[in-house]
Amino acid sequence: MSKKAEALTAENEQLRARLSALEYQIQEKEQEIHHFKNKIKISNIVDDRPVNSEDSAEMSDLINNYIQEIDHLITYLSE
């Protein structure tokens, strides 16, 4: 194999590795976006629910705790 072909083969392998890494990063970012969309939906549900202020604050705290726990689990699982 000529030097030019060897160089092109090496470059091709590097580009494939880079593409794979970028595809993985895109997949991670898409998961983060999906997670944040769900957070927004949950927040909107809490904000739109007609309840007295005491119940609303309690529910909001409960949901925020759930969201924090989910965030911790996602972080743990992504390591």
Task: Give this prediction's pTM.
Answer: 0.49
* Tokens linked to 37: 């969309």
Q: Which helix (H) or strand (E) holds 74?
A: helix 53-78
**Distance (Å, whole) CA 13 – CA 31:** 27
Q: Give the tens place of pLDDT for each residue, 44-73.
A: 766 665 656 666 677 778 888 888 888 888
Contact 35, 74 (CB under 8 A): yes
User: What integer best gives the mean pLDDT of the chain?
Assistant: 82
Report the Cα 13 to chain-centroid distance in Å.
Answer: 28
